[in-house]
Each structure stands twice: as structure tokens, then as C-alpha cells.
Structure 1
Amino acid sequence: MIKNYIKIAWRNIMKQKVFSLINVIGLTIGLSASFVIGLMIFYDTTFDNFHNDGDRIYRVVTNFGSPDGDDYNSGVTLALEDAIKEDLNFEIISGFYIERPAIVENKDNNSEFKWPNFVVYTDKNYFEIFDYNFLAGDEVEVLSKPNTVILTEKRAADYFPELKPAEVIGKTLVYNDSLQITVTGIVENFKQRTDVVFEEFISRPTLLQTRLRQDVLNKNWNNTNSASQLFVKVSESANFETIQKRFDELTLEHRSEDAKKYNNTRTFELQPLSDIHFNENYGIYDWSKGQASKSLLTNLALVALFLLVLGCINFINLNTAQASQRAKEIGIRKTLGSSRKQLIGQFMGETFLLVFLSAILSLLLSKWLISVFSDFIPEGLEFELFKSPIIILGIIILLLIVTILSGFYPALVLSKFNAVSVLQNRLSVGENKVKLRKYLTVFQFTIAQVFIIATLLVGKQINFLLSKDMGFKTNAIVSVYSPRGEREVSKKKIYAEKLRGIPEIKGISIGGNPPASFSTSTTNASYVDGDKEVTSELQFIHGDTNYLDVFELNLLAGRVHRNDTVRELVINETFGRILGFQSPEEAIGKNVVLSGENIPVVGVMSDFHQRSLKTGIEPMALIGDWYRPRFSQFQALHISFKNESSEGLKRTLTKIENAYKTVYTEVDDYQLIFMDETIQQFYSREEKVSKLLNWATGLSILISSLGLLGLVIYTTNRRVKEIGVRKVLGASLLQINTLLCKEFLILVAIAFVVAVPIAWYGISSWLQDFTYKTGISFWVFLISGSAMILFALIVISAKTLHAANTNPVNSLRSE
């Protein structure tokens, strides 16, 4: 019987090739999107789910509050660990310090490794919280002595490529030319997905031999560094309210006088291990992989859901529309004894066959989609993940759900026909079924229309962001950064002199970060005017006396600082207004208090945007390199060009790199960043959203148009004789086309009316994240609506004009 059902199902599919193809295309698009996006959701939600008692492992993080806003830090003060060691709510406490050595040497084979990643100073408690598999070495006295290190299998292979793990034990590595550290253990790298990516574990007592010695000994409560991290494993009976209360008591007990004065707050919180992968406030340890976003995954899941629903709607519409064509088959089957249950089973089998065929095509298409959506696909996700048993089970369940959604209602409609009425040719199409098809068509085009409007408005906002004047020069300007860890200003000056000999270069400035960057240097500042005191956060940018000229920042009053090390401020307009000055000139000569020291304001520069236009302009000051000779804030040379042509710029960049190599002869980490590329990176997420909407719009229009085309084909085929009669009676081609198009265009117009408030609300909510935003223009809705109606008209007319052009003799011959 099953074999017979499959044969009949295949014959019906092949008999209605056009409708079957429309159904398969719609379902394939929806399933492909669901497969790939489902794979992404599975991949990102299964990080660090393999640790023993992982639900009891937390990272302690720090939140800061001030009148100017909130800030988040993944680290804690070094003093916190000692303060909570005796807390009974914590089963294990493990503090560690992330430190990147400048160089690690293996003297045995004369190899050296510069700036290795994922190096931490920690103790045995770390290996009690995270269960590593030891491949070699002492598992009892783990990191108990100074100058010892445990390596992962991968890092050991980098340092000692010719040796097996057991042979590495006892070997010596030299860190930063001075620290001789012995390898005491080799552990296996985690095989499952994890954000705990550390490769090198140095014993914590070794910190006393590094530049961090004073920080470790003093353990200042008011010093919070993201490198100082703390993990805890809470007891099974832990009371989280009690833990938080203890944290709050500690912050109040150790609140500084400055924090009280400036109304700043600090809180410690427990961050679940599973939250690290998604929480952008605190970040992950391997920034090169990019932070996962729950909101992005949610949006992707909604896109997949909508596309899948659109494909199911096509199936329902076309199958119910064609119900009358299979009426005689159903009548004969019922006469021969088929029950309604058997008929439903047969039609559901046909549906599953189409869904299964679509699934096969979707799997083939998914491999291509993974490369197309590379901006959304997390690094490490591969097509082979489809072999995972849970993914296979999920696909099977999805196919069953799609089969039921697509086929159950048409199966009920088809199996409900009365055998006597069918065989006597007294079958009529129910009004409710026609209404359902209309509702579903409106729903389809509403989704497509929402996507179109959203795509246009998001594109308009992104264009506004990228084209808006930032307040300083952003094109034809680059920053060349010094080698990592190099703080000799003299070398930068030598490099600058060499660059001044290049005729294509317009200006050069030695400084810190450019005016707009991802880095922030902030302090508290105050200004006393008689009995009145104004306090505010103040951000710094560091630059020499050429900084303003290179970036074409306007100096509104006063002058720049006299030299690099003099303590003078060039503030922006915003900071001047906060301090109460009515004009830039009024601020000149006034003193701002920084860390108890009076610093004179010698200049006022025009406002500019330091970040993306999501945020407003912050109070800022340009300063020199105040902390010499202890260390230098100057880490880059900023270069502007005379010739902005692509060919000229390319030649100039080659000269800049060649000059760099003559100054820094022993390094190979040349780093050059274009200012306009940095600005574009501010909006990388928005550009991803735009790309996602472009795809969603195109695919939803394709699915909806195919469904519309199917309904038009069915309708015109049923009205062939009517069209012939009308032509014989003198109806023109335009009149017939208008008659056939009118019903469908009304549905598209209704969809537009429904879509407008939905799209407006969604985009309005999205734009709330931006301090500076474009307006929601009426013309966008008008263009999108007109485009959708025009597109639908083209799809409909493609078939209706063909039907209207048919010779009426052919259609009326049998009458």
C-alpha cells in the first residue's frame, strides 16, 4: 500500500510540474535558511556546556555607575579574592591575571615567539574549577612553586615541535629575556566549543618577578583592571542574595573619597559561564572570533521562520486552489472504499515527498549559503556539523512540522469532498476556502512589504551615518602604529623625519589614538567657580602640536599646548559648556582640577564625534605626552596626504612602509589603519543587518511572487472560456488584463496598508539606539508600495496577457 501511495504521489507531482516546482522552490528557500540559521543557533548555544558543574561556575565582573552613564569591566580588583576567600557560599575561588609576554624563547632550538596570546598567571584552583586532562606532568603539586608553567598540547607543540608531551616536562622557557620558567605539565586542549581559550598557565607567585609586583603586593581596592579576573564555583546550597549582599557590603566598605565626591558607584556581580559567549558588556577572551549576539541570532531565527511560513503558505494556497481538479479521483477512491483517514494519509505522504525533496536540495544549498553568509557565520562553524546526531534529529522534527503545517489543511479539504456530489459534477468551491487563500496571500505580501520598507530605511540610516561629517578629516589619512611594546619616542621622531621627505605627504603628527577610535582614556575632572563646583568625566586624546592640523580640527580660541610634556589642556566645546562657559574665549586661562592638580585650559577646539553616531559628543581634551619618561602615550604616527587618487595613494603607502622598515629593522608587525575604515567599523553590525534584510527581502519577494504566479496560472486556466467569450463580445486586451489583475492587485494593496504601521513601528524602535538619525520619510513607503504593486503587476500580467492573447476559437471549440 505504501509503495502504491508513493507511486500515486509521484505521478501527481509530475502531472502538476509548475505547481510542484513552485512549492519545492518556496520550501527549499525556507528550509535552507532554517538549516543554516538553526546550525548557527546550535553552534553558539553549545559553548562551554561540557564542564563538570558548569551551571555552578561564574565569573565575577565589575559594573561602574556615574552621573555620565554606566561602564562594565570583566575584571575585578586584586583585593577582592582575599576578601571572599572565607565565604562559605563559594566552593572554589580562582583568580588569575592575563598577561601577554613580549617574547618567549626556547634556547634549546634557538626559537622565539613574540607576543603569544592566551597566557595567564594562576594557581591550582583554576584546574579544580575547569577539568583539564593532564597528558604529562605532576597533577598534585600544580603551579605551587614560582617559575613553573603548564602548557596545553597545542602550545607545547609550538614551543617544542619535535618533542612528545612527556619529553617537554622539565624543559625551560625564557620569558621577556629574564624569567626562566620550567614546564611542569602538559594538558589537553578542550575538544568541545569553549570561550576558555587559555594556552599557557604560569604559577601566580611568578608575578612578583614581573612589572606587576607592586600591584600584587598592594592590591589597591580602587584599581580595577580587565586583566585581573576571578572565577568562582558556588556551592550547591548557595544563596545568591547573600552573595550579592556580601559584594555590596565590600563595595561600600572600600568606597573611595573620590567616588563619594563624584557620586560614582561600583558593584560586583556573578556572570554565569554560559553568559560569557553572548554578553557584549564584558566580552570574550578571543576577540578575533567576534562576540556572539543573542539579538542577531533572534533576528536570523525570525527571518528563517518567516521564509519557512511563506513557503508553507504557497503550498496551502496552491493545493487548496487545485482541490477541484482532484475531485473525481477522490470520489472514485471513496466509492471503492477508501476512508477519509486513508485519503489524508495519502495526501500527507505526497506533502512529505515534496518536503523531503526540498530538504535534499536545501542541504546541498546550505553549503553554499554558509560561504555567502560568512559575515554572520561564526568562525569554526562548518558544514560537517550537520552530521551531529542532535542536528539530524532536529532536521527530522522540522520536516515533520513543515509537512503538517503545509499539508494537513489541504488534506482535510481534499478528503472532505462528497463522493456523490463529485461524481454528479455538482462540486462548488467553498467561500471560506477562497477567503483563506486571500488572507494567506495578504499575509505573504505583508511580510515582503515589511522587509522592503525596512531595507530601504535601514539603508537610508546607514548612508546617513557614513556620509555625516564627523567634525574632522577622515579621508586620505592613515595611522601607522609602533611595534607592540615599543615606547621609545625617539624612534618615532626619526620615523617622522624620514616621512617628511616624502613629497606626497601633507602633514604628520605623533600621538596616541586618532580622534575617533575604539579605545577610551577617561578621568574625573572638576572646575571651581567661587562657591560653585562642577564635576564631569573627561576623555583624553594624546597628540603633539601638529595633531589638530593633521586631522583638520578647528581651534576656536587660544592655542595648542606648547610642547609634548607640558601640562596644558585643549578642551572641546561640550566640556566648556558643562563647566558653564558662555563662549570658547571665556574658558582660556581657567584651571581644571585633575587628580588634585590645577591644569590650565589654553585652547578650545570644535566638537567632533569620538564614536559612532549612536552616542552623543562627550567632554574631551587634547593633551600631550604627560607621563614621560616613565612611559609614553604616543603610540602612532598620523599621516595626511596631498594626493588622494588611488594610484598616488598606493605609491605613497609603499614609501611609508619602506621608511618604517628602515627604522624598525628587527620587527615585522607593521600596522597601518585608514581613518575611514575605522569609521566604517563603527557600523559593522548595522551593515550586517542591512545585508540580512537585503537577502530576506529578495527571498520573500521571490517566494510570494511564485505563489502569486501559481494562483494566477490556476485562475486564468479556469477562466479560459470566459476570456474567449469576452474577446468574441469585443473586450479589449487591456480590459481583459484589468479584469484578471484587479483581484490580485487589491490583495497586494491591502498588504501594503497592513505593512506600513508594522514597518514604521519596527524601524522607529531600531532608530532609538541612535543619537543621530535620519527621518522616516514618507517617500520610502510610497516607493516601496509602488514597487511591490508594479512587481506584482508584472508577475500577474506575464500570465494574464498570454491568456488574453489566446485565440478564442481554441478555447470555445468544445462549446
Structure 2
Amino acid sequence: MFGISFENIGINLTVIPMFSNYLIISFRNFYKFRFYTLINVLGLTIGITACLVIFLYVRFELSYDKYHKNADSIMRVDWDLQMGEEQNYQASVTPPVAQTLVAEYPEVEAAARFRYLGSFQFKREIENFIERRVIYADNDIFRIFSIPFVSGNPETALIEPFSMVISESFAEQLFPNEDALGKTLIKDNKTLYQITGIFKDLPDNSHFHYKVFLSMEGLDESKNGNWIGGPFNTYVLLHPDADPIALEKKLPDLVENYILPYAQVVLGNAFMDDFQSSAANHLTLRLMPLTKIHLHSNLRNELEGNGDINYVYAFSIIAVIILLIACINFINLATARSSGRAREVGIRKVMGSTRTNLALQFIGESTILCIFSFFLALLLTQLVLPYFNSMTGMNLQIPMQDYSLLIFVAISALIVGIVSGIYPGIVLSSFQPVQVLKGKVTGNKQSFTRSSLVIFQFAISIFLIITTVAVHQQVQYMKSRKMGFNPEQVLMLKWAGNLGDNLTVLKNKMMEKDLITAATVSSYFPGPGYARSTPLIWKYGSTPNPETSATTEKWMVDHDYVTTMGIELVSGRNFSLDFPSDSSAVILNESAISKLALEGDPIGQKISLFQQDPDGTQQADKLETWEIIGIAKDFNFESLRQTVSPLGLFFGKSQNVLALRYNAEETQRVIEELEKNWKELAPGEPFVYSFLDQDFQNMFNTETRVGKLLTVFSALAIIIASLGLFALTAYTVEQRVKEIGIRKVMGASIQNIILLLTKDFGKLVLWAFLFAAPLAAIGIRWFLQSYAYKTTISLWIYIGAGLATFALALIIMGYQSITAASANPVKSLRSE
């Protein structure tokens, strides 16, 4: 009663022995041709490993901010101001925008703002901790974003002034083994803040990673009603049925009703009439979807540095290329070995095998190799990920608990195996028994296909070499380019303002040493992480207008700043204590001077700007007047992706950082002497320093990282292509061993035989170069277009890549050719 009939359940018993026979034949062939099997498995494993790593990288990059419950309904409001040739496109807007959007646009369910003001110090009792990941925020950030609380009430946590919400890791740092909720911290040795909430640390795939949120209610700037100043990163939560595109089309009404009238009061009727009359000028508010910020937004005032969708595209293409090269190796070797298996095909056809069965046999062999390679690749990926993470600063892992990934890998293995085996299966199964049993195998079509695939591999190798060298050359150009100032041998002592009046004492003490050649105190320096203020300036005595005004960075500096930074003056003089009038003096850079369009010599002329209150409000009826005493040569204080912006060095007091220029050989002595004096003058305060050149180089981290990754993956692609070429030339030589023996007997030299065997591959390299070079030029032009300052790619890079590829092919082919040409012809001809 428990008997089972296979026929009843639809299983044909003859199928099982057939598949068993296929497996036995497959493994016999793997062993018989073990050299080529090893090459295929090695190439596929390396290629699949590279693809898996890139897949994990791309998957992570595309996952940013999607963990938020309302991710699809969250938008950031951006500010797009075009004034003549000057564009100010930034990821922030002015303070009143958020509340106005909630009040007047029914599509907006909630709005919240962030305001970043740099690092802060926090302490419980005596010792200060410095934390840079601190930001002011409205309480509604917890309504908009999914930020899980460990303790506290997210609905009220930041409603009161001087309240703060901290991350679990920050709480453990300051309150180890204690409950931090309800406790207090002192910010910057002045203000007492109460901890009203603790949240789980934000995940890696978030476009911001703050550890401390301070209540926006305690920030006066957030309440000043200034419609044209104050960079507040503003996010809105839309109702589920709201259309973001339709809402964005309504935002010009907000600009028309609030921003432009306010600007008219501050800047004057003439300025706004000129602004609105020119088609080149515009002011627009835009909505950026939350899930697109990380890969599609690189604006000013971003909360953090973002990725780039172009890099995702580039590495995805490289992954496909690597996998294609590995598959091409398999196809080439399978078709090249066709004559070796021709008799097998002929005999099996005579014995009754159909062409379909034979094709399935070869596709099955390919699939078995691919599945085996995929499992090896999973193990290899697990081993290489720590090195990849170390190189990129990421924390990628294979999510073994994610069955969808494992299913994807399994399906990919099947697809790659089937695709790789289809062409060899069709070719091998098409042999005619009568012909192949007589030893005749036609191969012109196979030879053409094989040559085409080899050309493709060489072309990819040349393309990758050219583009990799170009990326590295651009990175080195950015690092070595003369910036217009001298960032080397400058030590930056952070939080120097903690010294108070002792700051001058410390500066003088260090200047007494023969270690220090110059010193300056300021809060404004080139590179990331320093304060920025951008008022509008214009010629004194005139009214501001868009054509002769400039939105200029305002840096407050002392009389030693220009000397310490090594800034070159093209005209005028430096600040000097000998001129009391320098208290209202300014040094402008060339970009600011050209924007102002001053008549005659700018030196001695004056500029005006609106006076700004501590909360950021500009006073339309109060002007500041500054006299131009010098013109600084333009220098890059931002990324080389951007042109040099107008900049003014204004004489004044701003003391957050002490910069010391020192002798290069005395680095360690400078640090030791500075630390000793710091501890004497500022006991209990953190001693934090950096080097200006390193701070500046940090701006190129993304390009440097991409360059390293491109080098690694390009090298892998070239290695895989070389493995295939090595095996293919080995087989070619093997097939021509009798010919080589006859030629040697007839008097051919080793050099003649080497030339004979290598000239055909040399032609393939030339064809590959002709295909690859134009494509590489297009790719390089696309890569460099995002940089305002770009290197020149020499023709020799293209020629060098072609020669390098030819040399690599020559080495591979030469080794096989020399081995064959040096062999004793008696051994190869004794059966004849």
C-alpha cells in the first residue's frame, strides 16, 4: 500500500542514468583537461569575486536612507540662486522656509531644520570631550526620520531650549555603565544642557551620522525671520498622496511672496529691479527626494560628503566587463579545444546522441564549473572584504541571513554557466560525424569568433589601463597643483579659544622658539571643516546691483595671517600694526576684484556690506565700510571641482585655531613644546591638532579611494584576460607542435618560430587598440568634466597603454613560443 510508482508521478527513469552519464563524462573531461579546467575555474572565481564585491558596494550605495519608514515621502528643500555667472546652489535654505511650508502648503505634513555650526566641547565635571558630529535640530526630525529612541520621549525631546538628545555610543562614552537620561552636560564651558533622549546610533547607510542633536529652540538665529541668510538644511514630510513635482511647481509663489520682498527691503529696489529684469538671474526652491541625496547631490552645505551615481555606474560596468572576460575565456578555450573533442562528438552521434543532448552536455559542463566557481568566490569574497573595507572605509559584509542574496547568487551561477556554454555547445554539437571521424574539423568561423573575442579582451585591457592612469593623473594633479598658498609645515592647534587671554601668551611663547617661523590666530582656513560667512559686497558709495556685487567669503584674520599661510599678493600690501587704519582694511582675491568691476586701481578704494547681527540678521540700514589695501592671487580653498570663489580677508579678531608655520625637520619637537605649554596654560582642556596639508588633502579622499578601487578591479580584469590568453596560446602551440617540428627540421631558427607564433596575436592587439583608444578618450572626457581644474591627458598615455598590453601579450605568447621552439623536433615527429 506504500509502494511508489515513479511513472505515476511523472518521472522518467531513463533520465536519471542519462544525467548520471553526463556527470561522469563531465568530470572525466575536467580531469583530462585539468590545466584548462584550472584556468577556467581560477578566472571565473576571481571574476565572480570581483563582481560580488562590486555588487555589495553598489547594493549598499543604493540603499542609503531607504530604511526610513516614510523615505519616499521625505524631501529636502534646496536653494538655487543664479546671479549673472555666479551660481549659488546649496542644500539649505533660510530659517522661515520650514514653518511657512507647513502653514501654507497642505501637502506638507511636517517640516524640520538642521543647522551645523561645527564641533563643540562637552564635559560632565572637569575634562572636556570634543565632538564634531553635533547639530542643532527641530524636534520634528523625530517625526520625519526613523530614529529609534532607547529612552526618552521623541515627541517632546527637543521642544525646550538647552535640551539635547544623544546617541547610545556617545552616552556610553560620557556615562559608562550609567543611565544618561536626565543628566546634564556643559557645552563649550558655558551652557548647561539636559539630556532628554537617547537614540540608537544611526546606520552606515544614512546621509547624516550625528551623535548629538541640540534643541533648535536655543539658537537665536533660527527665529530671526531672515529670508536671505542662514544655511538651514530643511526637510519636509509630505502626505502620502501628495505629488512632489506638483508641490515644487508651487514654490515660486513662496519666493514671490516672501523672499523677493524681503530681499527688496534689504538690498534695495534698484538691485531687485536689475535682478528680475535679467533672464540670466533666478532664485528657485527645489525639492530633492531623500533617497536620491547620497548619490545625486553634491551641493554646498551638504550635511556630509555624499557619493556619486557615476561611480556606481562605472563600477557596475567594470563588474559586467570582468564577468564577460571570464566567460570569454571559457568560450575561447572550449571552442579552441573543439578538435580535441571532435571524435568524441562524432562517436556519440553515431551511437545515437542528438544534437540537443550534446549541446546540453556541454552547457551542463559549463554550469557545473560556474556553480563550483561561485561557491569558491563566496569564500574568497569573505576573505577579501576586510581589505576592501579597510581601503574604502566601508563596512560591507555578506548577509548570509539574506536568502534573497543567496538565491540571486545561485541563479547568477546558472545564468553565467548557461550563457558561457551555449556557444561552445552549439559549435561542438554541430560537427558532422563523417567529417570528424576522418579527422576533418572545419574551424574558420570558430577562428574568426575566437579572434573577435580576443580583440574584445585586449580592447578592454587597453581601455582600463588608459582610464586608470588618467584617474590617477587627475588625483595627483589635484594633490600637487600649486594652490596659491603654502599648506606644508603648518600645524593647526584646534580649540585655541579655550585659552582666553592666554592665547596671546602661548603664541608669543612659541614664537620665541627657533622652531616657529610664523604664527596666526583665526577661525578661517583653507580646506573642509572651517567656518564660512558669505555676505554681499559692493563698491562704497554706490547701490548694490547684480552685475557689480559679489557674494564673497568673509574671513576674519590677524596681521600675521597672509605671511603664515604663504598667500601671494599681486598688488598692494599686507596688514600691518604700523597702520592703525587697518582695523577697517580688507584684502580681496582676484575673483572678488573682477566681480566688483572697479574702475582704476582698486587699492585704496572702499567696499560696503550690510552689518550682520550675531543671530545672522542683516541690517539694511547699517553698513560696514572697508578699505582695499591688497589683492591676493586666487588660491584654491575648496575642492578643485569648483572654481575659486570671491574671498575677502578682513582684519579682525577670530580666535578658534592657532596656526604655526615650523621648520620641516622639527615636527616632533614642535608638537612636544606646544603640548607642554598647552597643559600649563589650559589644564583639563583637550589638546587637539592637525596639519593643514593633511586637512586639505582630505578633500580628495573620494577621488583617491575611487582611483585605488579602479586600479584593483582593472588589474583583476587584466589578470583574468591574461589567464585566458595564456591558456589559449598554450593550446595553439600544442596544436601546432608538429608544424614547429617540421619547420625546425627544415632549418627554421627559434627566432623565426617565435615570430611565426606571435605575429597573429600582435595584429589582434593592434585592432584592439584602434577600438579601445577612442572609447577611452570619451570616458576620460566624461570623468574630467566635473572638475573645474583638470589635468592634460598626453597622447603617450594612450600609446603606453597599447604598448603595455602588447608587451604583456608578447610575454605570455613568448613564453609558450620559446618553450615550443626549444623542444626537440624528434619527439614531436616520431609518430609521422
- Asked whether the two chains share a fold, i.e. TM above 0.5, the reply is yes
Stretch deviating more after TM superposition (302-311 or 694-703): 694-703
Q: Evaluate the alpha carbon distance shift between residue 682 and residue 791 of structure 1 in structure 2; reply closer, same or farther with a 3 A threshold.
A: same
1:651 to 2:662 alignment: no
Structure 1 distance, partners of 2:26, 2:107, is 63
Tell me by how many angstroms 1:473 deviates.
2.1
State the Cα deviation string for residues 316-336 of structure 1 (Å, max 9, x = none): 011011011112222222233
Structure 2 distance, partners of 1:141, 1:608, is 47
Q: Evaluate the alpha carbon distance shift between residue 507 and residue 275 of structure 1 in structure 2; reply closer, same or farther with a 3 A threshold.
A: same
8 Å CA contact 1:277–1:283 kept in 2: the answer is: no
Q: In the alignment, which residue of structure 2 is the partner of 1:122?
A: 138
1:306 to 2:301 alignment: no
8 Å CA contact 1:452–1:697 kept in 2: the answer is: yes
Of 656, 673, 680, which aligns to 1:662? 680
Q: Evaluate the alpha carbon distance shift between residue 524 and residue 804 of structure 1 in structure 2; reply closer, same or farther with a 3 A threshold.
A: same
Of 449, 469, 472, which aligns to 2:482? 469
State the Cα deviation string for residues 704-762 of structure 1 (Å, max 9, x = none): 22222222111111111111111111111111111111111111111112212111222
Q: Evaluate the alpha carbon distance shift between residue 756 and residue 416 of structure 1 in structure 2; reply closer, same or farther with a 3 A threshold.
A: same
Q: In the alignment, which residue of structure 2 is the partner of 1:408?
A: 422
Tell me by how many angstroms 1:175 deviates.
5.0
What runs of 5+ residues in structure 2 fail to find an aligned partner? Answer: 1-16, 276-280, 611-622
Q: In the alignment, which residue of structure 2 is the partner of 1:511?
A: 522
Structure 1 distance, partners of 2:178, 2:526, is 49
Of 778, 781, 806, which aligns to 1:764? 781
Matching residue's letter, 1:357:
F
Matching residue's letter, 2:684:
E
8 Å CA contact 1:40–1:377 kept in 2: the answer is: no
Q: Evaluate the alpha carbon distance shift between residue 577 and residue 441 of structure 1 in structure 2; reply closer, same or farther with a 3 A threshold.
A: same
Of 608, 613, 622, which aligns to 2:649? 622
State the Cα deviation string for residues 291-321 of structure 1 (Å, max 9, x = none): 3322222211121111111111111011011
Residue aligned with 2:637, SS:
coil
What CA RMSD, in Å, does the superposition of the two structures yield over aligned residues?
3.3
Structure 1 distance, partners of 2:107, 2:340, is 71
Of 511, 526, 538, which aligns to 2:538? 526
Residue aligned with 1:593, SS:
strand
Of 388, 398, 402, which aligns to 1:373? 388
8 Å CA contact 1:262–1:535 kept in 2: the answer is: no
Tell me by how many angstroms 1:106 deviates.
6.3
8 Å CA contact 1:92–1:128 kept in 2: the answer is: no
Q: In the alignment, which residue of structure 2 is the partner of 1:560?
A: 574
Residue aligned with 1:478, SS:
strand
Tell me by how many angstroms 1:94 deviates.
3.3
Matching residue's letter, 2:556:
H
Q: In the alignment, which residue of structure 2 is the partner of 1:493?
A: 504
Tell me by how many angstroms 1:780 deviates.
2.1
State the Cα deviation string for residues 139-196 of structure 1 (Å, max 9, x = none): 88776667766666656555655457xxx77x34355478777666666667795446
Q: Evaluate the alpha carbon distance shift between residue 277 and residue 18 of structure 1 in structure 2; reply closer, same or farther with a 3 A threshold.
A: same
Tell me by how many angstroms 1:496 deviates.
0.5
Of 77, 81, 86, which aligns to 1:64? 81
Structure 1 distance, partners of 2:514, 2:558, is 21
State the Cα deviation string for residues 404-443 of structure 1 (Å, max 9, x = none): 22111111112222233333x2432232111100110000
8 Å CA contact 1:89–1:237 kept in 2: the answer is: no
Q: Evaluate the alpha carbon distance shift between residue 765 and residue 99 of structure 1 in structure 2; reply closer, same or farther with a 3 A threshold.
A: closer
1:9 to 2:21 alignment: no
8 Å CA contact 2:588–2:648 kept in 1: the answer is: yes
Of 227, 234, 247, which aligns to 2:251? 247
Structure 1 distance, partners of 2:171, 2:451, is 66
Structure 2 distance, partners of 1:116, 1:581, is 41
Of 333, 350, 365, which aligns to 2:348? 333
Q: Evaluate the alpha carbon distance shift between residue 772 and residue 220 of structure 1 in structure 2; reply closer, same or farther with a 3 A threshold.
A: closer
Of 478, 488, 501, which aligns to 2:491? 478
8 Å CA contact 1:512–1:634 kept in 2: the answer is: yes
Structure 2 distance, partners of 1:571, 1:181, is 40
Tell me by how many angstroms 1:387 deviates.
3.9
Tell me by how many angstroms 1:590 deviates.
0.9
Q: TM-score normalised to the size of structure 2?
A: 0.85
8 Å CA contact 2:536–2:551 kept in 1: the answer is: yes
Residue aligned with 2:389, SS:
coil
Q: In the alignment, which residue of structure 1 is the partner of 2:334?
A: 319
1:684 to 2:688 alignment: no
Q: Evaluate the alpha carbon distance shift between residue 62 and residue 578 of structure 1 in structure 2; reply closer, same or farther with a 3 A threshold.
A: closer
1:674 to 2:692 alignment: yes
8 Å CA contact 1:568–1:623 kept in 2: the answer is: yes
8 Å CA contact 1:351–1:407 kept in 2: the answer is: yes
Q: Evaluate the alpha carbon distance shift between residue 789 and residue 142 of structure 1 in structure 2; reply closer, same or farther with a 3 A threshold.
A: closer
8 Å CA contact 2:392–2:705 kept in 1: the answer is: no
Of 435, 445, 468, which aligns to 2:458? 445
Residue aligned with 1:321, SS:
helix
Structure 2 distance, partners of 1:591, 1:187, is 52
Of 625, 634, 638, which aligns to 1:611? 638
8 Å CA contact 1:569–1:600 kept in 2: the answer is: yes
Q: In the alignment, which residue of structure 1 is the partner of 2:373?
A: 358
1:637 to 2:648 alignment: no
Of 376, 379, 399, which aligns to 1:385? 399
Q: Evaluate the alpha carbon distance shift between residue 252 and residue 224 of structure 1 in structure 2; reply closer, same or farther with a 3 A threshold.
A: farther
Q: In the alignment, which residue of structure 2 is the partner of 1:699?
A: 716
Residue aligned with 1:82, SS:
helix
Of 219, 226, 235, which aligns to 1:220? 226
Tell me by how many angstroms 1:552 deviates.
2.9
Tell me by how many angstroms 1:568 deviates.
0.6
Q: In the alignment, which residue of structure 2 is the partner of 1:629?
A: none
Q: In the alignment, which residue of structure 2 is the partner of 1:737?
A: 754
Structure 2 distance, partners of 1:285, 1:189, is 20
Structure 2 distance, partners of 1:576, 1:140, is 50
Structure 2 distance, partners of 1:711, 1:456, is 28
Pairing 1:718-737 to 2, within 5 Å after superposition? 718-737=735-754
8 Å CA contact 2:489–2:661 kept in 1: the answer is: yes
Structure 2 distance, partners of 1:714, 1:473, is 59
Aligned identity (percent) is 29
8 Å CA contact 1:120–1:198 kept in 2: the answer is: no
Residue aligned with 2:284, SS:
strand
8 Å CA contact 1:522–1:537 kept in 2: the answer is: yes
Matching residue's letter, 1:57:
I
8 Å CA contact 2:346–2:436 kept in 1: the answer is: yes
Q: In the alignment, which residue of structure 2 is the partner of 1:348?
A: 363
Q: Evaluate the alpha carbon distance shift between residue 162 and residue 428 of structure 1 in structure 2; reply closer, same or farther with a 3 A threshold.
A: closer
Q: Evaluate the alpha carbon distance shift between residue 33 and residue 721 of structure 1 in structure 2; reply closer, same or farther with a 3 A threshold.
A: same
Tell me by how many angstroms 1:34 deviates.
0.7
Q: Evaluate the alpha carbon distance shift between residue 261 and residue 501 of structure 1 in structure 2; reply closer, same or farther with a 3 A threshold.
A: farther
The number of equivalent residue pairs is: 782
8 Å CA contact 2:459–2:768 kept in 1: the answer is: yes
Residue aligned with 2:584, SS:
coil
Structure 2 distance, partners of 1:456, 1:316, is 30
Residue aligned with 1:92, SS:
strand
Q: In the alignment, which residue of structure 2 is the partner of 1:233?
A: 237
1:419 to 2:433 alignment: yes
Tell me by how many angstroms 1:594 deviates.
1.9
